[in-house]
Structure 1
Amino acid sequence: MGPRKSEIEYVNLELVGECNATTIPGADPVLAEALTNAKKLADGALTKGPYSITKDKKVPHVAASGDIHDFLSYAPYWWPSDKNDGTYIRKDGQRNPDVSLLQDQSQLEGLAEQLLYLCLGYQVYKKVEYADHAVYLLDVFFVDPLTKMNPNVNYGQVVRGSNHSPVGRPDGIISTRTLAQVANIVPVLFDFPGYQRIANPISTWFQNYGQWLLASDLGQKTAARKNNHASWYMVQLVMVISTFGLPTTPTPSLSQPVIDKLRQFISNTLPQQIDMKTGDQPLENQRTRPFHYLVFNLQALIYIAQWIHHQQPKQSGADSLFRCLDVDAYLTKAVDYLVSYDTKKTNEDPTEAVRCVQQMKLRREKTMGDQDILVKKQQRFIDKAKAGDMAGKVSGPKNTIYWLWSR
């Protein structure tokens, strides 16, 4: 049983920047392991790619626009009906295997994962080969006219069948959430000479994508949702625009409309997502795989929280908003609910929650100490999950490098 593909999380590049190859001899064992594995993953990434949503794309698996550069994904829980009349019906939690006929999402996720390893490797080890390959992957995916992706998700999670429209749905924006990981890690390359050739096209791409998220009908409908779709929308919105800006304000910053959406999300959506009395997330707990969705939404919320905590002074308004509304109280309550959840009743994998619990434990430990009751409870959950039947899911190099930005 190998390790699962990790969900994205906010990478604090300032903390990563404090590490370098000379750190290893005097490093604590956990950091030394993270540094060693960062090199191992970066070396492996040199052989991966390139990635493109145009790869092997052929009719009928092309967006209704007819443009192979338009991102396309199929709604995973929709199946042909028993009527055999070309209509589709929804079966929540039952993934239709033929959604894998499309490679757009897996290509994007492959790019984001390998780019993470290459950029971390370059930042720590200063090896030019890592940066060169990262630039090559970015060029193919976002810049090259033959292979680039268009900066929109107009055809995300399309529901097939004669009873549905061939255009995308608000749900589809979740299919491109790893674009936030790309926007998060690319700044490592900003001062690399080889990046300058694609710097303007990359910035333009993400500025246009940020504008699409903000202004498109699908973007606005997703922002108005109450469940994990709204959370992952916010992850993309704040990360993309804080890194690249918008077409009208290309300096990386948060425009007033983005701050307004962030305020709306934290003030109104978050309290509807997490019950502060119990820590339950009712909208996620009603799904057929409740534990999975409880974790999935929490991953996005922790990303947003970590991002706000690490903002530059120019985003201090957002940070003040965060502290004022005490998002950590919601997250702490939700994590406490998770670590008490009986996954045997739903036959789910407890290791899915390990990273969430680790992140919140590290945060709480810094202020409350390792003898805090909740910190101890969180550690017991982590230890039990890592000793269980699914321990292999949270093993290997991918599950150690987090210490570079989380310590």
Structure 2
Amino acid sequence: MLYRSLLFVFLLFPVVSQSQSFVKNIEQTLRKKILDDANWAIKQKPQTVTSASSPRSAGTKHDFFSEGDYWWPDSLNPDGPYIQRDGLTNPDNFVAHRILMIRFSRIVGALASAYRLTGDTKYVSSAFEHINAWFINPETRMNPSLLFAQAIKGRATGRGIGIIDTIHLMEVAQAIRVMEGNKIAKASDVTGAKEWFASYINWLMTHQYGKDEMEAKNNHGTCWVMQVASFAALTGNKEVTDFCKQRYKTVLLPNQMSADGSFPLELKRTKPYGYSLFNLDAMATICQILSDKTDNLWTFETADGKSIKKGIEYLYPFVVNKSSWTLKPDVMYWENWPVAQPFLVFGAVNLQNKTWLKTWKGLEHSPKVEEVIRNLPIRNPLIWF
């Protein structure tokens, strides 16, 4: 009996130790970046959606507003409805609120990472100044809905497709989870933030925009699950997290992935490389958020063999050597990918793959290109472990 117990311990502890070793490696890799980012973040003052506005918004100053990226004036009818040019970003569209949200996410994510690394409560205090401004202060808070996102001039005051803009609130939600146990975090602020996210989850699951986005066949459907799972993890909503698990298993993975691990609907786009990276990042993040001891999405396979591991194995060679990509280059930002993709670091730790971690370590961890940042909602991986 003693022999069996010792054998169990021997078999168990190398796995635990290995995972801890991976996370320690991540800490060492990011330490300087985290502290530098936090030094910048702690000097920043809160700016919310009330800090910028557009006369084209149909909402109030508390409503998030953005315009569809790929929509342009019609040269044949300059005053008429905009027309679409897939993959080509119109720089004149209003995206100030998205930029502010990304800034918010970067600040709070950096501060939570530094707190995770050092335990210094000054980072918690600073982070909650921003959290309070966005979610609680009646003068500056954002409404917990997305009625006016990805609007199109002459066509729509808002669309369900715009829900993808709030993927940048995921690291805010995760940061709150990391910091909420510290006594510096006021209970009223934590409760207020959780109430905001609970209201937003309800809107995402009941409003037609949310329902439409949930049913999207491509990365938009993936990102709906990803962010709802993130927000539900913060609010402790097990019913919603269980729903998201089942959706990953029965809808996202079987319907979006082909037998070779690729995502055909992303490959059809004018930016197939960037969208493939983005969708795989989102699926890996879902696995990171929702996996637990009794239900590990990292090892889950469909009946026909589709899995997150197969998705990483398909795309990994093109990350290591982008010149081997078999399709046409993306119409924009081809030269800016890949960066330190979340699927590499999450996959490395959970599937114990040192090669993936080594590749992740050697990629760009602080991208400067706005489009890359927009499509990289996980910029602070340490807070997710």
TM-score band, normalised by shorter chain: 0.7 to 0.9
Q: Could you say which residue in structure 2 is the equivalent of 1:160? A: 153
SS of residue matched to 2:75: coil
Q: Could you say which residue in structure 2 is the equivalent of 1:364? A: 351
1:360, distance to aligned residue in structure 2 (A): 2.6
Q: Which amino acid aligns with 2:220?
A: H
CA distance in 2, matches of 1:365, 1:124: 22
Say if 2:264 is the partner of 1:268.
no
1:32, distance to aligned residue in structure 2 (A): 3.3
CA distance in 1, matches of 2:381, 2:199: 33
1:128, distance to aligned residue in structure 2 (A): 2.5
CA contact (8 A) 2:229 2:241 kept: yes
- Over 3 Å counting, the alpha-carbon distance change for 1:132 and 1:350 in structure 2 is closer
Q: Which amino acid aligns with 2:107?
A: Q
1:284, distance to aligned residue in structure 2 (A): 0.3
CA contact (8 A) 1:343 1:350 kept: no
CA contact (8 A) 2:27 2:117 kept: no
CA contact (8 A) 1:31 1:403 kept: no
Say if 2:310 is the partner of 1:333.
yes
1:346, distance to aligned residue in structure 2 (A): 0.8
Say if 2:104 is the partner of 1:111.
yes
CA contact (8 A) 2:229 2:244 kept: no
1:117, distance to aligned residue in structure 2 (A): 1.0
Q: Which amino acid aligns with 1:302?
A: A
Q: Could you say which residue in structure 2 is the equivalent of 1:240? A: 231
Say if 2:115 is the partner of 1:122.
yes
Trace 1:7-22 onto structure 2 (pairs within 5 A): none
* Cα RMSD, aligned residues only: 3.3
CA distance in 2, matches of 1:307, 1:379: 19
Select the residue among 344, 349, 362 that pairs with 2:335: 349
Identical pairs, percent: 23
CA distance in 1, matches of 2:24, 2:213: 43
CA distance in 1, matches of 2:336, 2:316: 9
CA distance in 2, matches of 1:130, 1:382: 27
1:35, distance to aligned residue in structure 2 (A): 2.9
Select the residue among 261, 267, 278 that pairs with 1:279: 261
CA distance in 2, matches of 1:362, 1:321: 13
Q: Could you say which residue in structure 1 is the equivalent of 2:207? A: 216
Q: Which amino acid aligns with 2:110?
A: Y
- Number of matched residues? 345
- Over 3 Å counting, the alpha-carbon distance change for 1:28 and 1:281 in structure 2 is closer
Q: Could you say which residue in structure 1 is the equivalent of 2:166? A: 176
SS of residue matched to 2:224: helix
CA distance in 1, matches of 2:366, 2:168: 24
Select the residue among 47, 52, 56 that pairs with 1:56: 52
Select the residue among 63, 82, 87 that pairs with 1:88: 82
Q: Which amino acid aligns with 2:147?
A: N
CA contact (8 A) 2:345 2:360 kept: yes
Select the residue among 183, 186, 210 that pairs with 1:193: 183
CA distance in 1, matches of 2:213, 2:71: 19
User: Residues 320-361 of structure 1, C-alpha deviation per residue, up to 9 Å, x if partnerless?
Assistant: 677554699522222233234434841623742642334434
Q: Which amino acid aligns with 2:311?
A: A
CA distance in 1, matches of 2:366, 2:105: 23
CA contact (8 A) 1:351 1:391 kept: no
Q: Could you say which residue in structure 2 is the equivalent of 1:7? A: none
- Over 3 Å counting, the alpha-carbon distance change for 1:30 and 1:192 in structure 2 is closer
SS of residue matched to 1:346: coil
Q: Which amino acid aligns with 2:53?
A: K
Q: Any unmatched runs of 5+ in structure 1?
A: 1-14, 20-26, 245-251
Say if 2:31 is the partner of 1:35.
yes
CA distance in 2, matches of 1:274, 1:298: 10
1:176, distance to aligned residue in structure 2 (A): 0.8
Q: Could you say which residue in structure 2 is the equivalent of 1:293? A: 275
TM-score by length of 2: 0.79
Select the residue among 284, 292, 295 that pairs with 1:302: 284
- Over 3 Å counting, the alpha-carbon distance change for 1:364 and 1:349 in structure 2 is farther
1:381, distance to aligned residue in structure 2 (A): 6.6
- Over 3 Å counting, the alpha-carbon distance change for 1:140 and 1:325 in structure 2 is same
Q: Any unmatched runs of 5+ in structure 2?
A: 1-16, 319-323
CA contact (8 A) 1:263 1:321 kept: no
SS of residue matched to 1:288: coil
- Over 3 Å counting, the alpha-carbon distance change for 1:43 and 1:204 in structure 2 is same
CA distance in 1, matches of 2:24, 2:264: 41
1:380, distance to aligned residue in structure 2 (A): 8.9
CA contact (8 A) 1:77 1:94 kept: yes
Say if 2:242 is the partner of 1:259.
yes
- Over 3 Å counting, the alpha-carbon distance change for 1:382 and 1:262 in structure 2 is closer
1:140, distance to aligned residue in structure 2 (A): 1.1
CA distance in 1, matches of 2:365, 2:229: 33
User: Residues 117-167 of structure 1, C-alpha deviation per residue, up to 9 Å, x if partnerless?
Assistant: 111212332223211111111111111111110001111111112xx122x
- Over 3 Å counting, the alpha-carbon distance change for 1:30 and 1:334 in structure 2 is closer
Q: Which amino acid aligns with 1:53?
A: V
CA distance in 2, matches of 1:212, 1:95: 28
CA contact (8 A) 1:339 1:381 kept: no
CA distance in 1, matches of 2:25, 2:229: 34
CA distance in 2, matches of 1:43, 1:267: 43
Q: Could you say which residue in structure 2 is the equivalent of 1:249? A: none
CA contact (8 A) 1:308 1:322 kept: no
